[in-house]
Amino acid sequence: MSVNERVVIVGVSGASSSGKTTVSKVLHSLFPNSVLIHQDDFYLPDEDIPFDNTVQDLNWDCVEAINFEQLSKVLTNFKTIPGFVYSKATKENDDFNKSLSKQTDASIREKISEKLSSVSTNVKFVFLDGFLLYQNEQLAHLFDVKLFFKTDFQTLKQRRDNREYVIDNGVWVDPPNYFENLVWKEYYKNHNFLFVDGDNEENVKLNKNDLNSKAKSLGIKGFNNDNDCIFDDLLNDVVSYILDQI
């Protein structure tokens, strides 16, 4: 961060396979002077990941699996240390690969350029892609913009079933029923407080619940990203929202 540079930290969150990583990568490609960080690169070592007795396997989806202290320190460094550089080979992969049309890509870039040229300071964007961003108070208060992508249960499961994960000891593929019995369970447990009637799990599964007043008071902006979502329209709305916060 230079003397005349403002750092804007953008949280890009949602359930596993909600498309947040794809959105993050596209945002990183669109915004000049931006950095992309993946929460998945801040897991604790494999031997420290909690074991889940229901699935008889490691639980990568609980809050205890993430090194929030280290992640918060990295974000704080962007805010407080001029010229701070973060570089790490990521293990993150993506199961929701979509791209913008050339026309939309060009129009969004023009919109970003016009907005940034109108502000008095240089702006550096730090995009953090993660599935557990707004539960940890130490981390949550560091965001200038908080995005949250909502998707229905069946879409999440379908995308997740087609996915592999790179871990310290090789490649991870979900065992049978891992999504239902662990991934969704942890997502719902850690996010139901954000939804209107969040205690109605079936409606949350169907993506029928809007974000509630608690989520809005925390500054979280929700976006639907089911399979019928038009990606160009989604990114246009997301970029417009980010620019409105500057």
Q: Which residues are catalytic?
A: 40
Give the number of other Cβ atoms within 10 Å of residue 17's Cβ: 24
Measured CA angle at 171 (ends 169, 174), to 5 deg: 115
Q: Which two tokens stand for residue 64?
A: 């205890």
β-pair partners for 10? 127, 145
Question: Cβ(220)–Cβ(144) under 8 Å?
Answer: no
Q: Which two tokens stand for residue 113?
A: 């350029």
- For strands 34-38 and 122-130, give the pairing: parallel
Q: What is the DSSP letter of 81?
A: S
In degrees to the nearest 10, what's the CA dihedral of 48, 50, 55, 57?
10
